[in-house]
């Protein structure tokens, strides 16, 4: 379809950019189309916490003037959404928590600033599990986001708002964050592309910290080309974040050759487990077979410490969270209970401001770090984390990428796992090892189950191996049509 024959909200970023450069559409027209789409679908999917309609149209008008003056910034006039754990200057940033309701940061996160410098039009802030702690977006302090493919089901989490918005055409693309799968898992559940970069590839400055050694800002997009484009813009060293790497950012678009001949694809036995939904396994194995038919070499591999990843993750992540969230005390910013006694005010502020999942993780982390338990839990978890990382490093001596499911099942019903935290945590069983090891990963559509729910193929690459996973993902995507399917929402014209 050309721009003239499809609704503007269905465009990819690269299609919209080409149309803007050719003068076929204006940034104001494009932005208005996205705002109209948000008004039409968001009452059903509830992807946005904040819609910045007035500012977006002002930014779009400015983009049109800049283009007339010869400016050709890479995202000039492109409407995008930002997960609400990333600071946006003078725009409410709540992290999905009541404790930050009304908080407007005095600065923007580096990733947001880089998109703005590239010409982005900001549509608004998307819903998230509170402080990115969750796998379903049910833990938001405000409301649950619904999956556009089935409104009775979750979109995944914690970047569920961003994934649902992109899937439903309520944003051309969006930023999310990934601490244990929070970009890749909702991407799989919503049939979009989600990439989690290597640790240190993208700045965390301005991201509300959950697990500082695990967090990474990622991209949710309609196709691999868009993911590569946006990653190239947000990646790179940031002097404001000492964990970013001072290494050149490749031209990720150049990796999208469509050719995987000779690429070695690892197939880990540990990622095809009992209890996995049969349709998920069948779709992923079919995708791997398609890569093989295109010339890739399939190599059986083992990642023997995979079964330890879940407990390791929930010790390391919660320990870091318990320290990071101590700053929300009702004294410096955000909600305050207003008690005259300082200590009682802190107690009440945190008790009233944090939701149950955040409290659970703070308590788990504080326990793991407490005297007498540090060596037995947190230190041991860090030691096993090293073993998990070594598993990947050894595997990548044999292969270029690793292929596996992004999730063990398709999207579950809202409320289905609300009373069983362990079962909820298992939703991320195939994604958390990538964060523990600092590697990169991408999820992309590879099929649907019998209920019409999306299935995601995950491709994992070595540290700073984004070019390899983008190459493989793009080649598979071009050989299939899964990514071109869009959900149908009741009463909403497509």
Respond yes or no: is residue 380 known to be catalytic: no
Respond yes or no: is residue 182 known to be catalytic: yes
Going by C-beta distance under 8 Å and a sequence separation of 6 or more, which residues neighbour residue 400? Answer: 263, 264, 265, 461, 465, 468, 472
Measure the N-to-C terminal CA separation of the chain; round to a whole number of Å. 14
Name the active-site residue from 97, 135, 182, 433: 182
CA–CA separation, 272 and 408 (whole Å): 9
**What is the SS3 assignment for 309?**
helix
Respond yes or no: is residue 162 known to be catalytic: no
190 neighbors 156 (Cβ within 8 angstroms): yes
Name the active-site residue from 26, 97, 136, 158: 158
Measured on CA atoms in the order 104, 106, 109, 112, is the torsion positive or negative?
positive
Going by C-beta distance under 8 Å and a sequence separation of 6 or more, which residues neighbour residue 148? Answer: 41, 45, 155, 164, 167, 168, 190, 487, 489
CA–CA separation, 351 and 346 (whole Å): 8
196 neighbors 434 (Cβ within 8 angstroms): yes
56 neighbors 78 (Cβ within 8 angstroms): no
> What secondary structure letter does DSSP report for 435?
H
222 neighbors 193 (Cβ within 8 angstroms): yes
Alpha helix (H) residue ranges in 24-117: 27-45, 53-68, 110-117
Name the active-site residue from 83, 125, 196, 222: 83
Active site residues: 83, 158, 182
């Amino acid at each position: 379809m050309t721009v003239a024959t499809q609704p503007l909200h269905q465009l990819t970023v690269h299609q919209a950019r080409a149309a803007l450069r050719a003068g076929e559409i204006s940034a104001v027209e494009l932005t208005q189309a996205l705002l109209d789409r948000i008004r039409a679908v968001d009452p059903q999917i509830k992807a946005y916490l904040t819609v910045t309609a007035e500012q977006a149209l002002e930014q779009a008008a400015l983009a049109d003037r800049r283009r007339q003056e010869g400016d050709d910034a890479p995202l000039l006039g492109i409407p995008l959404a930002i997960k609400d754990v990333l600071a946006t200057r003078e725009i409410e940033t709540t992290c999905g928590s009541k404790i930050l309701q009304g908080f407007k940061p005095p600065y923007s996160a580096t990733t947001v600033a880089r998109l703005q410098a590239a010409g982005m039009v900001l549509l608004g802030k998307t819903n998230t599990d509170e402080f990115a702690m969750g796998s379903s977006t049910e833990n938001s302090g405000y409301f649950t986001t619904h999956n556009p493919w089935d409104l009775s089901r979750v979109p995944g989490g914690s970047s569920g708002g961003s994934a649902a918005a992109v899937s439903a055409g309520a944003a051309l693309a969006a930023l999310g964050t990934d601490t244990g799968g929070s970009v890749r898992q909702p991407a799989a559940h919503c049939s979009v592309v989600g990439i989690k970069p290597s640790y240190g590839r993208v700045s965390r400055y301005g991201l509300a910290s959950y697990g500082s050694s695990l967090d990474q800002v990622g991209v949710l997009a309609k196709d691999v080309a868009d993911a590569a484009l946006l990653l190239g813009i947000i990646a790179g060293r940031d002097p404001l974040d000492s964990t970013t790497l001072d290494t050149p950012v490749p031209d990720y678009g150049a990796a999208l050759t469509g050719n995987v001949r000779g690429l070695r694809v690892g197939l880990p036995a540990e990622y095809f487990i009992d209890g996995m939904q049969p349709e998920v396994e069948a779709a992923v194995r079919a995708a791997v077979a398609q890569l093989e038919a295109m010339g890739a070499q399939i190599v059986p591999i083992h990642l023997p410490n995979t079964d330890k990843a879940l407990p390791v993750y929930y010790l390391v992540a919660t320990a870091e969270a318990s320290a990071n969230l101590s700053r929300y005390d009702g004294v410096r910013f955000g909600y305050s209970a207003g008690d005259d006694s300082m200590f009682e005010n802190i107690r009440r502020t945190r008790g009233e401001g944090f939701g149950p999942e955040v409290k659970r993780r703070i308590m788990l982390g504080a326990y793991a770090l407490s005297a007498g338990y540090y060596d037995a839990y947190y230190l041991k978890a860090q030691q096993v984390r090293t073993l998990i990382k070594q598993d990947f490093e050894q595997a990548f001596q044999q292969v270029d990428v690793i292929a596996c499911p992004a999730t063990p099942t398709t999207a579950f019903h809202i409320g289905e796992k609300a009373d069983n935290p362990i079962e909820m945590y298992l939703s991320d069983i195939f994604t958390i090892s990538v964060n523990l090891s600092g590697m990169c990963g991408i999820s992309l559509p590879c099929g649907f189950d019998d209920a019409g729910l999306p299935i995601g193929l995950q491709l994992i690459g070595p540290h700073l191996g984004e070019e390899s996973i983008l190459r493989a993902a793009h080649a598979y995507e071009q050989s299939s049509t899964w990514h071109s399917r869009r959900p149908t929402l009741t009463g909403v014209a497509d």
